[in-house]
Structure 1
């Protein structure tokens, strides 16, 4: 079978692709903000000494970590509106699904960071009379973020890539637009190749940052 590539036709669809890319970036940024903040809250709740807080939180984390992200997106999009009998903006539902999924994975990254805080630092907080929120803000959080940062960035890259799944529920992200163009033009090879390149370009810089941070952390640990 002979196939002639023609990427030129995509120039007439550049505005559509940019519009979809804008939605993808907005989804990824919003979900990452939610994941970074709520992930730390989940981490603290999962380490609580109160079982009534710890057990439900751990169950919540395991649910989002152990079920497919695609299933979570579909559930949020179709099931929640049926349960509350109220239509919710599809973009918001996509953010919630991606953000909660990312929060669950970030919670585990934070937990490893919190557990890496030296016991001596916590004892010093007690000796200085710091209140619990002061310990978290000035001692635990900065060290946990520093330790967990490579994993948080890696999870963030994953969230960017998983954002393509929202196309299944007709959110007009980059993947949804690409699917529409490929269907109309009968040229899926060119369309999906360009879209794959766009995701690659978006992800590579953050991947390089992760490598740099990991090398610096390894150098500090070896001193």
Structure 2
């Protein structure tokens, strides 16, 4: 079988792919914001002394960490409207599904980071008379973000990649537009190769920046 690789028609539809990329980036950035904030709050709840708070929170974390993201997306899109009579914009539903997944993984990243914070810092906050809220905001959160940054960035890149799954529920992201273009041009190899390169071109610089920041932090503290 002879197949000639030809990117002409794919490049001709680049505007279509860029429109999808914009949606993908919007989905990712919104989910990352909710994931960073919500992950910290869920982490604090999972470390609570109250079993009524801790156990349901731990169950939430394990459910979203131990089930496929694809099933989570499909369940939220189709089951939530039927069970709760709640109908939201598809983009909002996509953000909800991706954010819940990211919150669960970030909560574990924060937990490991918080456990690495020297106990002397917490003792100092008590000695200074800081309230629990002030301690969480001004002592724990900044250090947890800094210590957990490599994992948080990795999780963000992962959710950027997993955002491609929302194409299955017809959100017009990069993957969805790639599927349309491959159907229109009959060039699936070229189309999905180009789509993969677009994902790679965004994910790689973010990963390299994260590695550089991590090395700088280790150097500053060595």
TM range (shorter): over 0.9
TM-score, with length taken from structure 2: 0.97
The corresponding residue for 2:66 is 66
Matched residue pairs, number? 222
Does the CA contact (< 8 Å) of 2:10 and 2:185 recur in 1? no
The corresponding residue for 1:146 is 146
CA distance in 2, matches of 1:123, 1:4: 68
The corresponding residue for 1:92 is 92
Q: What does residue range 94-173 of structure 1 map to in structure 2 within 5 Å?
A: 94-173=94-173
* Unaligned 5+ runs, structure 1: none
Between stretches 54-63 and 13-22, larger displacement belongs to 13-22
- Deviation sequence 1:98-144 (CA, Å, 0-9, x none): 00100100001111111111111111111111111111111111111
TM-score, with length taken from structure 1: 0.96
CA distance in 2, matches of 1:188, 1:27: 24
CA distance in 1, matches of 2:181, 2:128: 63
CA distance in 2, matches of 1:154, 1:131: 32
CA distance in 2, matches of 1:14, 1:197: 13
CA distance in 2, matches of 1:154, 1:18: 24
Structure 1 vs Structure 2 CA RMSD: 1.1
* Unaligned 5+ runs, structure 2: none
CA distance in 1, matches of 2:87, 2:51: 35
CA distance in 2, matches of 1:94, 1:206: 22
CA distance in 1, matches of 2:164, 2:143: 33
